[in-house]
Amino acid sequence: MDQGEINALRAQPVAPRGHLINGEICPSQTGEVAEVLSPIDGRVLTTTAAGTAEDAARAIAAARAAFEGGRWSRMPPAGRKKVMLRWADLIEAQALELAVLGVRDNGTEIAMAIKADVGSAVNTIRYYAEAIDKVYGQVAPTASDILGLVHHEPVGVVAAIVPWNFPLMIGTWKLGPALAAGNSVVLKPAETASLSLLRIAELALEAGLPPGVLNVVTGAGRVVGEALSMSMDVDVMVFTGSGGVGRRLLENASRSNMKRCYLELGGKSPNIVFADAPDLSKAAKVSAAGIFRNSGQVCVAGSRLLVQRSIHDEFVAELAKHAGAMKVGDPLDVATDAGAINNLTQLEQNLRFVELARSEGAQLFQGGQRILEDTGGYYMEPTVLTGVKPGDSVAQQEVFGPVLAVTPFEDETDAIAIANSTDYGLAAGVWTADLSRAHRMVRAVRAGVVHVNTYGGPDITVPLGGVKQSGNGHDKSLHALEKFHDLKTAWIQL
């Protein structure tokens, strides 16, 4: 990455943005806009359309018309594949511009934005493009005078609501399989991270995606998200975000047309370090990155560190050394290791969790403060809390910030009990040189993904989904297509 090129891109003004509905950029029905504050310096970056229920309805109608018209849903698979591959190429060609735009909007450090946001988006779209003409129906084993066929059909109109931490990565986890299956989509980005998703939707049109197949409506979740979830003409809703919002979406689905809802609702992921870990220094360094990169704003972040008591003090000191060496600051500086907190409300919540943890008996081992306040931006020190009990608030509730809760454990049985003691079950990590123990832990820890002797990194080829209150359904891999297909049986008398 060239710092000069990044600086030139950050200096460019960002034009006000409208919705993208039926292939056209348009304002809100009311003409109202919302200011976009950059977390880098707290200043107004641009404005986006403040969406209304009527805007959502227009987008849904456009998506329905496109679907029923068949210009995408009935396009031959090879044609859809060609468009999606061209789309990925266009995103890749503008990777740095998209990354800088996204960082100015949401605060992720630029190295992470290039690799995990834009890079993941390109890989995801290509993956599902290549899958389009390789997904077959089935012939059932029936009686000799019957032909039983199982067809895979697109579900219709998909509403997707995505968060602000990795808008392109998580957005394309929804868009890739939904569009590959032949559906039309209405996408609602987070209010604080809409710009890069609006841009790649424009690139989709440039690639040849027919108007109305992908629509983007910006605005508040309580308005636009509510309208999408209550719509009688949305067939499937997919969402990544908080448990409270997920419950609201489920309620609205039941009150409207009982649309299917697939929810990824975050986690409180245990990262478990046994005394026999093969390389404790590596484990400490990777574990620090696993909670403090992107300032802890990662759904699978290893936010609970469980350390076997015999190595507890040594390991925590080593991890704190790595955390203390991380450079927190301007996310558009290539030397920065951890960027900004996305918004002031989130930063204040992080700080309240630190104080709550201390009031419940935890010790502040490191960090815990807002920093660089003179920049106007939203920055926080990597924070390590020790002496955290399994039932403490900071061990049970998702902080979604650079706050690590450390708890000692005695043995394998104790580690499993503590790991499984929350309502969440999204991710976990296990560090051990004992292969049998590793397999036992993978089976015993209730989580959708269990990392062994690493933390983070699973690519698009494997599914990501949670158990318990971390949600249902899966993003990534071929399994994600299941959310966006209906099965239709043909029972033919020969």
At 448-469, the pLDDT tens digits run 999 999 999 899 999 999 999 9
Q: How far apart are CA 212 and CA 219, in angstroms?
A: 19
Q: How far apart are CA 475 and CA 460, in angstroms?
A: 9
Query: Does residue 298 belong to any structural domain of this protein?
Result: yes
Kindly state the average pLDDT of the residues 224-249: 98
Query: Does residue 42 belong to any structural domain of this protein?
Result: yes
- pLDDT at res. 1: 77
- pLDDT at res. 48: 98
Provide the whole-model pTM. Answer: 0.97
Do 42 and 82 sit in the same domain of this protein? yes
Looking at the predicted structure, is the pLDDT value of residue 87 above 90?
A: yes
> Which residue in the list 264, 318, 381, 398 is annotated as catalytic?
264
- pLDDT grade, residue 487 (50/70/90)? very high
Do 261 and 280 sit in the same domain of this protein? no
Kindly state the average pLDDT of the residues 393-411: 98
- pLDDT at res. 9: 97
CATH number of the CATH domain containing 436: 3.40.309.10
Query: Does residue 164 belong to any structural domain of this protein?
Result: yes
Per the listing, tokens 């599902």 go with 128
Q: Is 360 a catalytic residue?
A: no
Do 171 and 203 sit in the same domain of this protein? yes
- pLDDT grade, residue 164 (50/70/90)? very high
Do 282 and 236 sit in the same domain of this protein? no
Kindly state the average pLDDT of the residues 148-163: 98
Q: How far apart are CA 27 and CA 41, in angstroms?
A: 27
- pLDDT at res. 125: 98
Q: How far apart are CA 119 and CA 166, in angstroms?
A: 11
Structural domain for 165, as ranges: 3-265+471-493
Do 430 and 478 sit in the same domain of this protein? no
- pLDDT at res. 8: 97
Do 293 and 419 sit in the same domain of this protein? yes
Kindly state the average pLDDT of the residues 50-63: 98
Do 297 and 274 sit in the same domain of this protein? yes
Kindly state the average pLDDT of the residues 467-486: 97
Q: What is the mean pLDDT of the chain?
A: 97
Query: Does residue 481 belong to any structural domain of this protein?
Result: yes
Query: Does residue 464 belong to any structural domain of this protein?
Result: no
Do 245 and 301 sit in the same domain of this protein? no
Query: Does residue 466 belong to any structural domain of this protein?
Result: no
- 443, with CB counted inside 10 A (0-12, 13-18, 19+), is exposed
CATH number of the CATH domain containing 29: 3.40.605.10
Do 258 and 309 sit in the same domain of this protein? no
Do 90 and 214 sit in the same domain of this protein? yes
Query: Does residue 465 belong to any structural domain of this protein?
Result: no
Query: Does residue 73 belong to any structural domain of this protein?
Result: yes
Do 114 and 79 sit in the same domain of this protein? yes
Do 286 and 419 sit in the same domain of this protein? yes
Number of domains in the chain: 2
